[in-house]
Structure 1
Amino acid sequence: MNRMNPLCPQIQNGLVVYVCFFHGATEDVTREMARSLMTTTLFRKDSGHSVSVLDFPGSVLFIHQDSLLGEGLPKRRRESRAGGQLFSALISKCREKMAASEKCRKAGVKVEHGEYGQKQEVSLKSAEPMTLLMEF
């Protein structure tokens, strides 16, 4: 029985992405982010080589992470006011990439997201937790 809220986004095997857009970010950065997130080789296969989330195939869960704002770098200001639009654009671009992958369509993997601007509770179960910071 699933005790989690059925309205909360959930994925099985895949990638969890915490997202924060700095002031001055534009939609152009979402294209680069989507390409990198979906094609960077992060998952180890039994054969010993690494594959991307599209080749794995795996699902992706996006979480808006405004706590990443902290002190930041000198020229990086508070989060962009257009963050919600950028968050939606990023999700849309990743869904397009996943939909274009026959392997992903056959596996039934998906791109899910938490609610932008809302505090979120996250529960992870992983055999190999890994953290990778990507700045764009």
Structure 2
Amino acid sequence: MTSAQPNGRILLQQCLSAKLMVQPATEDEEAKYVTINRGLIVYVCFLQGANMEIVEKMAKAALNTRLSDAKNGKLVSVLDLPGDVLIIPQATLGGNLKGKVMQYHRNINKEEGENLYRAFVDLCRKTVQGQEKSKDCDVKAGTYGNRQVFSTDTNGPFTHLIEF
């Protein structure tokens, strides 16, 4: 039996390349970035009630949904492409509009969210590394709980929201 409210959301977007700041610059160090080539950007948000079962469903959907154009014109998953994956924690996906203001009352608490996010990233990495086609592909991840500067090149936004 599923609840009326979702427990997690992912937003999937194909990309030609992407760059995400994972650590801002300080007086002593330059900012640090992760980059990917052609592949998939996965924005992740965990809501109240999320658990490892939801994490597994979200990871499976993210990696297996057919969104990328193959050379033959058919849509394939990032695993079949094969392509890189950039995972970005995105708490704002948990927002609901009330009047003119966004509210985030259904978001999971930060500690639980960070644990589920790490589990999601680990599961995606293991899945990609376990695929023969994807052995040279990278899975990169953003920093949970921080603002992150982001840029991407796409051949069309082709963005999809999936709720769990």
TM-score interval for Structure 1 and Structure 2 normalised by the shorter chain: 0.7 to 0.9
Q: Which one of 126, 129, 134 corresponds to residue 154 of structure 2? A: 126
- Asked if 1:46 corresponds to 2:71, the answer is yes
Q: What TM-score do the two structures reach when normalised by structure 1?
A: 0.87
Matches within 5 A, 1:1-136: 7-71=32-96, 77-81=105-109, 82-105=112-135, 108-136=136-164
Q: Does structure 2 retain, via aligned residues, the 8 Å contact 1:55–1:103?
A: yes
How far, CA to CA, are the matches of 2:61 and 2:80 in structure 1? 13
SS of 2:163's equivalent in the other structure is: coil
Q: Structure 1: which 5+ residue stretches go unaligned?
A: none
Per-residue deviation, 1:6: 6.8
For structure 2, the residue ranges without an aligned partner over 5 or more in a row are 1-20, 22-29, 98-103
CA distance in 2, matches of 1:104, 1:6: 29
User: Whose helix proportion is higher, 1 or 2?
Assistant: 1
Cα RMSD, aligned residues only: 2.0
Partner SS, residue 8 of structure 1: strand
Normalized per residue, the structure richer in strand is: 2
Q: Which runs of 4+ in 1 moved over 6 A?
A: none
TM-score with structure 2 length normalisation?
Answer: 0.73
Secondary structure of 1:60's aligned partner: strand
The alignment of Structure 1 onto Structure 2 pairs a total of residues equal to 129
Distance 1:111 1:34 in 2: 12
Tell whether the 8 Å contact from 1:22 to 1:77 is kept in structure 2 after alignment.
no
1:34-57 Cα shifts (integer Å, max 9, x gaps): 111111111111212111100100
